[in-house]
């Protein structure tokens, strides 16, 4: 099963796995925005643009 949400930046419809959790960060496959899951409904998730975090991921 998957859930669907809409990118608040480019309105691309994003499918996510059913086991996503609140606060999870995803990258929009269309505009590459970092999206945080702020709400999970039955078959729908709500995203908001995540704060840009300047973490050092080793690059």
Minimum separation from the CB atom of position 58 to Zn ion (A): 25
Spatial distance between the Cα atoms of 58 and 28, rounded to a whole number of angstroms: 22
Kindly report the number of other CB atoms within 10 A of residue 54's CB atom.
4
Window 1-59: residues binding Zn ion (CB under 5 A): 7, 9-10, 12, 28, 30-31, 33
Q: What gap in Å lies between CA 38 and CA 34, rounded to an integer? A: 13
Q: Output 5 or 33, the one with its CB closest to Zn ion.
A: 33
Distance in Å, CB of 28 to Zn ion, minimum: 3
Taking the C-alpha atoms of residue 25 and residue 15, their distance in angstroms, rounded to an integer, is 13
Please give the residue ranges that form the binding site for Zn ion (CB under 5 A): 7, 9-10, 12, 28, 30-31, 33
């Amino acid at each position: 099963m998957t859930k669907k949400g809409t990118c608040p930046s480019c309105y691309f419809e994003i499918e996510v796995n059913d086991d996503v959790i609140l606060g999870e960060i995803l990258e929009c496959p269309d505009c590459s925005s970092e999206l945080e899951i702020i709400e999970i409904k039955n078959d729908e998730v709500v995203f908001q643009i995540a704060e840009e975090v300047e973490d050092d991921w080793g690059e």
